[in-house]
Amino acid sequence: MQNYDLLIERIAKAANLEKSEIEERVEAKKAKLSGLISREGAAQIIAAELGINFENQDLKISEMIPGMRRVNVIGKIINLFPVREFEKNGNKGKVVNLILADDTGNIRLVLWDMNHIELIENETIKQGDVVEIKNGSTREGEIHLSGFGELKKSDKVMEDVQTAPSVSEVTLEEARQGQSVRIRGVVVQIFQPRFYSVCPECNKKVIKEGEVSKCAEHGVVTHKDKGILNFVLDDGTETMRVVMFSDQINILIPEGDLKDEGKATAFRDDFIGTEIYLSGNVKRNQLFNNLEIVASDVEKGKVEELIQSLNE
């Protein structure tokens, strides 16, 4: 919602029109396209129809939406991950990820070009530096920078930047891949919990060889079981599968209780139909090719607070 409002404000200002008129055009465009695009996508089409081009403007991180082809932004590197090597179709390459922040939010920046990666490897650019990005593209909640883009240090000073993960309060219908979201909805379906075995030292999945469990790092170990709970959330606009792992499951029920058929059944009977507030990351399930939310936090809705908010 915040990203959409900022985009509408920017379009209205550039076109010298009222925000309400831009919003009417966006809704008309969505209706014409049978709702097959998001409001943000419709707003981009309206901007193009009005002759508005954001390609030469520096954007704030909160103004970025998926599908932008030429993004210019200035931000501070608040986290820098190691350079990673990969091989694809017989060709070797490198990629590096970092987190870029400004006073409105933060976003992952992915570097693919060797010239850019060398700036990281020789520490010409390092964590804490403010950098300028030119001609990046946005997809899946990230900025990607290829050889056609530009990365350089900036003279700008940034003291107060948003280091906490940017969370969008959206509906399930508005949720997009790569977003961190907070959503209120009702649990309408629960699947049978599953368990997998991990190393007690590093929590990485172990390999079973007969009765023996082996960890790639710690050798033969006495494994422990971790739970996975899947359910479907409905917020009135759409339904989406939610995936919960041990830490989040334990907020609702000790995960070990899910192995007890009686306790698991009682939990499912109680949990289905419950209103919850859910935070998590929107990912694409590669097997089913649909979006799902990997939960990072969950809390049950309080009926009294809901009634009060509705009254207000």
Render 269-288 in DSSP notation, one character per residue: HHHTT-EEEEEEEEEEETTT
Mean pLDDT of 267-295: 89
Output the pLDDT for position 232.
95
> What is the spatial distance between Cα 50 and Cα 36, in angstroms, rounded to a whole number?
21
Q: Pull the structure tokens for residue 3.
A: 């990203």
Q: Which residues pair with 72 in a beta bridge?
A: 58
Output the pLDDT for position 123.
93
Residue 302 clears pLDDT 70, i.e. is over it: no
Fold of 56-163: OB fold (Dihydrolipoamide Acetyltransferase, E2P) (2.40.50)
Residue 82 clears pLDDT 50, i.e. is over it: yes
> What is the spatial distance between Cα 98 and Cα 78, in angstroms, rounded to a whole number?
8
Task: For the chain, give every domain's residue range.
Answer: 1-53, 56-163, 168-311
Residue 304 clears pLDDT 70, i.e. is over it: no
Output the pLDDT for position 101.
93
CB 184, CB 277: distance < 8 Å? yes
Choose which CATH entry (3.40.50.2300, 3.60.15.10, 2.40.50.140, 3.30.565.10) describes domain 168-311: 2.40.50.140
For the packed helices 2-15 and 19-32, what is the interaxial angle rounded to 10 degrees? 110
Global pTM reads 0.58
Question: Do the domains 168-311 and 56-163 match in fold?
Answer: yes
3-state helix, strand, coil in the chain (%, to 5): 25, 40, 35
Give the percent of the chain with pLDDT over 70.
Answer: 92
Output the pLDDT for position 66.
66
pLDDT digits (tens, 9 = 90+) for 235-248: 988 999 999 998 89
